[in-house]
């Protein structure tokens, strides 16, 4: 736990915002009524920045949070330090005014070096805890439109490095979309399957929130970036 806490880096802070680099292996917040992990990002957040404890729609569960990253996804997150900034940031994300860029190491190399994945995402009928797209025999419910732009940065024989720009914010969107087009995120056993490709130096899905940009307040453009962590950087050498 202490090692994970040390890996949380503050990239930027002012009276309204806190921007951090979240390490892989840290869940952002506990599920409703259940603490499955010993440590959550929100534990650190309330301890280090106690003003966030009363910020948000459900501050007892998600203090200051306007978006989230999966437990094993690393990278940039922004957090509100007061209710006014929370409402402003919530509006930015709701209206898709935040520009998010991810890097992913995937299995194989897409033939098209750039493209847009446009596939609605919903809960799998056979496993509502997972998301998916309606392909072949797969059935989903509660589907919502989802768009992901991608660009191949490096292509290798077994792995490639992709830049991803989600235009919608569906849960597990990038992982689901990449699996749907046949290039799952490396080491992603949930969506890529138990036999998914996985570099020797990696043990988690190789997805990294590289940068985040938005106007706050209106007219003031902010841009934040985080370099990939060690496991990701080592695996990039295989691309």
| Active centre residues (catalytic) | 70
Distance, CA of 177 to CA of 67 (rounded, Å)? 19
What the block records as the tokens of 207 is: 């997805």
Pairing label, strands 207-215, 74-80 = parallel
Residue 90 makes CB contacts below 8 A (sequence gap 6+) with 57, 66
Please tell me whether residue 75 adopts helix, strand or coil conformation.
Answer: strand
Residues 222, 187 contacting (CB under 8 angstroms): no
How far lies 44's CA from each of 119, 170, 226, in Å?
Answer: 36, 26, 19
Distance, CA of 133 to CA of 74 (rounded, Å)? 24
């Amino acid at each position: 736990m202490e090692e994970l806490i040390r890996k949380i880096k503050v990239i930027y802070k002012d009276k309204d915002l806190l921007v951090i680099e979240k390490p892989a292996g840290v869940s952002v917040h506990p599920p409703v009524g259940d603490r499955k992990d010993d440590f959550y990002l929100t534990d650190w957040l309330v301890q280090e920045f106690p003003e966030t404890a009363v910020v948000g729609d459900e501050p007892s569960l998600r203090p200051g949070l306007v978006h989230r990253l999966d437990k094993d996804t690393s990278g940039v997150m922004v957090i509100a330090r007061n209710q006014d900034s929370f409402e402003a940031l919530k509006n930015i994300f709701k209206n898709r005014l935040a520009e998010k860029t991810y890097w992913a190491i995937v299995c194989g190399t897409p033939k098209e070096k750039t493209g847009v994945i446009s596939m609605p995402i919903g809960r799998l009928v056979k496993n509502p805890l997972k998301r998916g797209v309606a392909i072949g025999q797969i059935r989903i419910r509660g589907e919502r439109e989802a768009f992901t732009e991608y660009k191949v940065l490096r292509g290798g024989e077994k792995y490639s490095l992709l830049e991803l720009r989600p235009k919608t914010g569906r849960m597990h969107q990038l992982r689901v979309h990449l699996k749907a087009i046949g290039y799952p995120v490396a080491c992603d056993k949930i969506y890529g399957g138990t036999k998914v490709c996985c570099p020797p130096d990696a043990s988690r899905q190789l997805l990294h929130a590289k940068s985040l940009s938005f106007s706050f307040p209106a007219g003031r453009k902010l841009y934040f970036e985080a370099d990939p962590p060690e496991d990701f950087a080592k695996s990039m050498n295989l691309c």
